[in-house]
Structure formats: structure tokens, C-alpha cells
Amino acid sequence: MPVVREFTLPDLGEGLTGAEVVRWMVEVGEVIAVDQPVVEVETAKAVVEVPCPYGGVVTARFGEVGEEVPVGAPLVTVAVAPSGPGSDSGAGPFEGAAPAANERPLVGYGVMEGGKGARRARIRVGEAAPAAPAAPAAPAASAAVQVVAPAVVPVISPLVRRMARDHGLDLARISGSGPDGLIMRADVQRAVAQTAAPVAAAADEEVVPLRGLRRTIAEKLTRSHQEIPAATCWVDADATELMDVRAQLNRSTGPKVSVLALLARICTAGLTRFPELNSSVEKDGSVIRRHSAVHLGFAAQSERGLVVPVIRDAHLLNTEQLGAELARLTEAARTGRLTPAELTGGTFTLNNYGVFGVDGSTPILNHPEAAMLGVGRITAKPWVREGELAVRQVTQLSFTFDHRVCDGGTAGGFLRFVADCVEQPGMLLRQL
């Protein structure tokens, strides 16, 4: 007889306690293969497809679209056909045995990468299963039922689905302008605009649910503000020579060097001199943990909101390697392909808010990190140099730090080192 296996939501990443159901990928009564994705969920870090380690017939699903499922709670139950001698004796053959062909340990989760690879074909009960290991039979109660899958909505991007869901739109009623009727982001935006006027007329206020990434950001920033006694210091720096060095580097063949890559290299050099800033305070406030490796986070704007990708072991990378990682992670953030591992574990954050055209900021620390360097726009300003007034490329640097890990002298020393490297990039040669 088939054995019913319960598959629960696994731990999808560091510190995540649950995930929101974005889309069910299987129906009750459907035959699935081992490791076939059964549900698409959104965590605070990424949108992921969750594969089921059991092959068989789906007997139940748990959680509606838009509902948050805690880690460890049931997702689906699957009727698994036992194999081998004594398979009709219930669950006995599974006790202490290695996983059979229709079940195996779950080892990973794939983040959606729009269009890369085809998903496994779904098989309705009553249809012929693909040739390979024998397909498990459906329970007698459901064998006579033809499970009719809903019409396929031509949309690939989970961001488009999320946008439609947040605005209460039915994707099946939206005409796609992409190839073969594919629904694009612009199509959903048009539909939102068409429905905006009646909503505005019906009420004076818009109620926006605080959930998903936005809720996680709110919770993390609130916790940081409540728990960390943060202080900020800042200084203006003449970045003219830094920009000249960048221009010289980019005149040669090879990858182009970004300002952010140069600033990242300056940060790793500064943390070598001031290692107490590459730390965090334990939850009970009794211990400061100084990290031996610099995992450098940087603020990046994505369609899902503000995210902080992390460059692992940034202290081991040169400027060109840092630039390559910055470019890769920025593109992944833009396209929504960052994995949970790429969004966790940072020990220090670089925040280039100058891209928004502003000079200064006092950012909230990225909990539980102890420090963050902020960089304003680099723009032409009057500057006194060698006793004379000149027009120079000037930027404002701000440094926010957890006052529990150090005093103002250490914070000021780090910020002054960064400013000196911006003004005299040759100082970095001393760190090689």
C-alpha cells in the first residue's frame, strides 16, 4: 500500500523563520517526480522554488497564495509507492532504510532564473507516466478522478506575479504584450493605472500591506534602532585624485573599475587597521564578536526594494576582483536572482547613497553589524587647496557605528583613513 509522506517547509536560509506562498506548482491528485518543484515561495531574501524529495501522488496542500508558512510546517503530503520485498506491509520497509527511487533527501533549492532550463512536465492522474523508474500508483480513491490543471497564465517573472497580487489583479484577465502573449511588467503597470482612478475616488487613503521584503526591512531597521546605540560622524573629502586614478585605470585594456570598487578596496584596507569595527554584539549584549573575515555588504536597489548583497571574504580580493563581484551581485539584485546565501552573513556595509543625487545621510545600521560607511555624490565644489580656492570633485563621507564596540577615537580614525585614501589613493599601496 502507498505510504503517505509529509513534506514540511525546510529552512531556506540564515535567520529565516517562514515564507509566503507565491504560487502552487502542483495540484492535489497530481503525480510528481522526486525533486520536482511543488511551490514557489517568497522569503525576505529571495523568491525560490521548493522541490519535494518524494515522488508519488499529491494528496494534500497546505497554505493559500499570500499566506505565510512557518519553517517546519507542512507544505504537501505525498502518497509514495513502496518498492522492494514486503512493500505491502505499510511503512515497515522505510524504517532505517536508504531512500528509494521515489524519495531522497532534499539538498538544495533553486532560485528562479527566468527561462533557464525547463521545468519537469506535470502528469495528471490517468495519463501515462514517463519511462524510467516505475511511476507510483495513485490511491484508489483518487485514481478515477481526472485532475484538470488550471489554464496556464503566460507569465515568467515572479516579480510580475507579485505586483499583480499586491494590486489585486487577476493575471488571467491581462493581455500580454510580450512574445506569444507573455505578460510583462509594463502590462501589469497599465492594468494598475486603469484601476487606480476608481480606487482613489472610493477612498482618500491607500492601505499598503506591510509584508514580504518590505516587512522584513521594517522589522530589521526597527530592531537595529531599538537595540544598537549608534552614532554618526562625517567629513568632506576631495575625491579629485581618486577620480583621476580611476580614469587612468579605465584607459587601459581590461575590465572597467567603478568608484564603488575603489571604495570597497579602501574599506577592506581600513578594516585591517581597525578590526574592532568588523564585529557584532551578541543578543544579550555581553559579548563583542570580532570577525576574522570581512564579508562586505553593499546597498543595492532592486524591484523588490532595498537589498544588501554580500561579497564573501572581501579582504582577500583586489580592486578588480571586488569590481567583478559588485557587478555580478548588482545584476542579480536587478533581475531578482539573488540567493538567500548572497543576502546574509555580512559583517560591514558600504552604502553609496550618492547614486540618488544626495550629499549626506545618517543611515540605520544593518543589524547585527557594528558599522556602515556612507558615501554621498561626488560633485564639483569650491575647495581650498594649498591655500588657494579651486574647484574640486568633493564628496561627503559619513560613518555610523555601534558605540558599544568602540569609542569616537576609533570611529574617527577609520573615517579619517578612508578620507585620506580618497584624497590620496596612493596610500593604498602601503596596504599591499
Secondary structure (DSSP) of 150-194: PPPP----HHHHHHHHHTT--GGGS---SGGGPPPHHHHHHHHHH
| 188/104: higher pLDDT | 188
| Best CA proximity match to 304, nearest among 362, 178, 375, 217 | 217
* 354/239 Cα distance (integer angstroms): 13
Q: Which of 291, 295, 367, 403 is catalytic?
A: 403
The percent of residues in the chain predicted with pLDDT above 70, rounded, is 79
pLDDT of amino acid 196: 61
- pLDDT of residue 85 exceeding 70: no
Q: List, in sequence order, every residue forming a beta bridge with 4; answer none if it has no partner.
A: 79
The stretch 380-386 carries a mean pLDDT of 95
* 288/370 Cα distance (integer angstroms): 10
* 221/201 Cα distance (integer angstroms): 34
pLDDT of amino acid 408: 94
pLDDT of amino acid 264: 97
pLDDT of amino acid 219: 86
Residues 129 and 37: beta-carbon distance below 8 Å:
no
Which domains, from first to last, does the chain contain? 1-150 (2.40.50.100), 159-202 (4.10.320.10), 213-431 (3.30.559.10)
**44 pLDDT band (50/70/90 cuts)?**
low
- Residue 271: CB atoms within 10 Å: 24
**13 pLDDT band (50/70/90 cuts)?**
low
pLDDT of amino acid 233: 96
* 143/139 Cα distance (integer angstroms): 6
pTM across the whole model = 0.59
- pLDDT of residue 147 exceeding 50: no
- pLDDT of residue 1 exceeding 70: yes
- pLDDT of residue 142 exceeding 70: no
| 167/96: higher pLDDT | 167
pLDDT of amino acid 319: 93
pLDDT of amino acid 208: 79
The stretch 345-366 carries a mean pLDDT of 93
The percent of residues in the chain predicted with pLDDT above 90, rounded, is 47
324 by DSSP, 3-state: which?
A: helix
Is 167 a residue of the active site?
no
Q: Considering the chain, what is the average pLDDT of its residues?
A: 81
Q: What is the pLDDT of residues 264-288, one digit of tens each?
A: 999 999 999 999 999 999 988 889 9
**45 pLDDT band (50/70/90 cuts)?**
low
Residues 354 and 302: beta-carbon distance below 8 Å:
no
Highest mean pLDDT of the ranges 123-137, 145-159, 183-197, 266-280: 266-280
The stretch 336-355 carries a mean pLDDT of 91
Residues 43 and 17: beta-carbon distance below 8 Å:
no
- Residue 240: CB atoms within 10 Å: 19
pLDDT of amino acid 118: 39
- Work out the burial of residue 412: count CB atoms within 10 Å of its CB; fewer than 13 is exposed, 13-18 middle, 19 or more buried: middle
Residues 6 and 54: beta-carbon distance below 8 Å:
no
Residue type present at position 119: R
DSSP codes joined into one string, 269-280? HHHHH-GGGSEE
| Best CA proximity match to 345, nearest among 309, 373, 379 | 309
- pLDDT of residue 127 exceeding 70: no
Residue type present at position 34: V
- Residue 80: CB atoms within 10 Å: 21
pLDDT of amino acid 364: 92
111 by DSSP, 3-state: which?
A: strand
Highest mean pLDDT of the ranges 190-204, 265-279, 294-308: 265-279
DSSP codes joined into one string, 190-237? HHHHHHHHHHHHH-S-------HHHHHHHHHHHHHHHH--EEEEEEEE
Q: What is the pLDDT of residues 235-257, one digit of tens each?
A: 999 999 999 999 999 998 888 99
